Amino acid sequence: MESYGGGEAFIVAARRTAGGRRGGRLREWHPVDLAARVLDDLVETAGVDPAVVEDVVMGCVSQSGEQAVNVARNAVLASRLPESVPGTSVDRQCGSSQQALHFAAQAVMSGAMDMVIAAGVEHMTRVPMGAPSRLASEAGQGFYVSPGIRRRYGDVMFSQFAGAEMLAEKYGLDRETLDRFGFESQKKAGQAQQAGAFQAEIVAVEGLDAEGGTVTHASDEGVRPDASLEAMAGLKLLQDGGRLTAGTSSQICDGASGVLVVNGRALKAHGLKPLARIHQMTVIGEDPVIMLEAPINATRRALDRAGLAIDDIDLFEVNEAFASVPLAWLKETGADPERLNVHGGAIALGHPLGATGAKLMTTLVHSLRAQGKRWGLQTMCEGGGIANATIVEAL
């Protein structure tokens, strides 16, 4: 086995809650407590003293209400981690916890810290998408689009929904192609669930059924194994003249996720076994109007800097914000579609915004190890025309 020196970042634990539907089994969980449950599980899974964790970096998009006032620190205070562990919250829109992972890896690679948790949380039932901006506007506190932005981009509405349609049109993706992708996501997720493919990555928590009875929440609630192409073809379009429907869009979802990141020094000091090594981290910005196209060039840059080709990568996780995003990505990168989102994606499993980055990394690392594969790449589109890309090597 190779020796692990300084300057490297390793994932030694990766866990997530199962996704909860809007108003579903997780509806009574406070997001801070849900995130705290993942923090506790990470240190328990790794078998480390919680006091040796030096920071918690947590992604969260809607940082208002129950997710306000530094949700990362609040999650620490609700967990079994000691008060000595600080926390900071990150908003890179949908890529928030993937960026949290990048920050955690950079901290341990620099040697400034040895052990950091990168995590994410989003309770979209209790803190709806867009809540901070909407509430501020209703309170007369203005809108985030400034006169300077207007001068640069004109009177345009920055909309992920419009961007997803623009992407479908640009890459020649018709309704039937999009529907088929959505159907395949549901099919793959259902098969993975049935095979127990997510078992090693899910933190089981107590939930509520429709009648309010206590149940164990240990499976992604949005998966529809009975989905059919016929049913998808009958769904209403999200906008007149468009091509996307609810069946080809990510599901609103409640969830939390996290990965424990260490350097070689901590690996040796605590006798930890690495699951994966973080090999390359990239983030780029592009056109904020089409918004969702940046994963294509983020992938190209990450591969170039890693000295790898697209065919070297064994598994890909490309967030299914809308079906047009991974389909455009496939078309431009030439990646093997059989290696993409092999257990389904956010169309079936849900997209808990700030938690999705660490959630996808958790699935990617466990999938690589279960299949005896080596290289994995994760990328996702983000509001503002940004994309993160991360390449990991399973160990």
Q: Are strands 10-17 and 276-285 parallel, antiparallel or unpaired?
A: antiparallel
Active-site residue, from 94, 102, 217, 253:
94
Measured CA to CA, the distance from residue 337 to residue 316 in angstroms comes to 9
Residue 242 to residues 76, 99, 248: CA-CA distances in angstroms?
44, 31, 12
Q: Is 253 a catalytic residue?
A: no
Element (H, E) at 119: strand 115-123
60 flagged as catalytic? no
Q: How far is CA 259 from CA 23, 56, 144, 262, in A?
A: 26, 10, 32, 10
- Residue partners of 327: CB distance under 8 A and separation at least 6: 168, 171, 173, 177, 178, 181
Q: Per the structure block, which two tokens stand in for 305?
A: 């800097």
Q: Choosing from 102, 343, 351, 366, which is the catalytic residue?
A: 351
Nearest alpha carbon to residue 215 among 349, 14, 39, 18: 18
234: tokens are 């009958």
Which amino acid is it at 327? L
Q: Pinpoint the alpha helices (H) of the chain.
A: 31-46, 71-78, 96-110, 131-138, 147-153, 160-170, 175-195, 229-233, 264-269, 295-306, 324-333, 346-349, 356-370
Give the active site residues: 94, 351, 381
